[in-house]
Amino acid sequence: MDLRELVDPAHTVILTQEAQKGVIGPESVRRDLYEAARDSGVLDTMGRLVKAGRAAGCNVIHAIAAHRPDLKGANHNARLFAATEKYKMFQTLGTPLVDVIDEIGCEESDLVSMRLHGISPIAGTEVGALLTNLGAQTVIVVGVSTNVGVTCGVFDAVNLGYQAVVARDAVTGFPASYTDVIIENSLSFVATITTTDELIAAWS
């Protein structure tokens, strides 16, 4: 399918995965991910992509991971969650840690999905219903991490029948080099892999 047709703003939603200050902002409690995103230029690239998509007419959904102060409803069934508790890497509701990073911003037209559990931006959240109600056919996933959340989001979008698109320069993980490995060996089998510049050109 032609990229311009695939990402037509009339049926395309940009889904940001944990593009929040507590994960990849200067105040991040996940310094490894923040530094990977900062040093690779992904922070600025995500901002360019989302802003260009908004201007072209794409809908934007921000998938935010959060915790209640008492951790009620939070997962405890994986090493990732155990590390979060051990090192106090909480994304506490009502704090700047759950705000979208400044490079992207959150406009009045954007939708926000705040999840208290799990690792996916789609499964078990309202995002699936939001995509349906927005008339989405294509979902562009940006953010972190390619280790877990971004990859879950791509697989879930495909399982729900959407075309998934990944801009390889608008996602990252830790170490940053792992992103190329998972794109080439997993995500490229189920998603259209492109770049931010190619997407912006398709919207121009």
The whole-model pTM stands at 0.97
How many percent of the chain have pLDDT more than 70?
100
Taken in order of first residue, the domains within the chain and their CATH numbers are 3-203 (3.40.50.850)
pLDDT exceeds cutoff 90 at 1: no
* Mean pLDDT in residue range 112-136: 98
Q: How confident is the model at residue 87 (pLDDT cuts 50, 70, 90)?
A: confident
Q: How confident is the model at residue 6 (pLDDT cuts 50, 70, 90)?
A: very high
* Mean pLDDT in residue range 182-187: 98
pLDDT exceeds cutoff 90 at 36: yes
Tell me the average pLDDT of the chain: 97
Report the pLDDT value the prediction gives residue 46, as an integer from 0 to 100: 98
Q: How confident is the model at residue 160 (pLDDT cuts 50, 70, 90)?
A: very high
Question: Which structure tokens are listed for 13?
Answer: 């939603």
Q: pLDDT: is 88 or 170 the higher one? A: 170
Q: How confident is the model at residue 161 (pLDDT cuts 50, 70, 90)?
A: very high
Stretch among 18-22, 79-83, 144-148 having the lowest mean pLDDT = 79-83
